[in-house]
Homo-oligomer: A and B are copies of this chain.
Amino acid sequence: MVRCSHVAPSMKTYREELFFETTTRRASINITPQVETAVRKSGVREGLVLVNAMHLTASVYINDDERGLIKDYDTFLEKLAPHSGTYTHNDTGEDHADAHFKRQIMGREVLVAITNGCLDFGPWEQSVYGEFDGRRRKRVLIKVIGE
């Protein structure tokens, strides 16, 4: 029986969804506190946490949560893929083709290391939800894996 007491802790996984319904078409929301809470609830001390948009017109990315930078990103993305641009995708009756491009540039997902039960972030890293076609209910998935 002694050897049984050396059995390693089992792998743990944990899943949670976040919900957003922004009042504007485009918005940025710092979701670091929600990700930290999910990691704490998971009980995982060493592992990985995946955070991804579940919609094709929104992003989860890691960068600074600074008002000026957020404004600069919006200007940059609107220049690269303007909402009023001409897109074949909008022939389907949608008006959000630009949001697919904005999300593609900013990325769908981030993966963050968990070390000693905490997000293993550099000094300025924040996880941000980027909405590019808001004013309706949308979801973000948090999946934790580790031990």
Interface residues of A, Cβ cutoff 8 Å to B: 1, 3-5, 7-11, 13, 15, 46-48, 50, 52-56, 61-64, 66-69, 71-73, 76, 80-81, 87-92, 97, 100-101, 103-113, 115, 120-125, 139, 141, 143, 145-147
Contacts and interface: CB of A to CB of B under 8 A. Distances in A.
A78 to B, nearest CB: 14
Given A108-B110, A122-B139, 18 more contacts: A3-B5, A4-B4, A4-B7, A8-B10, A11-B11, A13-B46, A46-B145, A52-B111, A52-B112, A54-B123, A55-B122, A62-B108, A63-B104, A68-B88, A73-B101, A73-B104, A104-B105, A107-B107
23 contacts: A7-B7, A7-B8, A8-B8, A8-B9, A11-B11, A13-B147, A50-B111, A50-B113, A52-B112, A53-B122, A54-B121, A55-B124, A56-B64, A62-B108, A63-B100, A64-B89, A64-B100, A66-B92, A69-B100, A104-B106, A105-B105, A107-B107, A113-B143
B9 A10 contact: yes
B15 A113 contact: yes
Number of copies: 3
A40 to B, nearest CB: 18
A124 B47 CA distance: 28
A13 B146 contact: yes
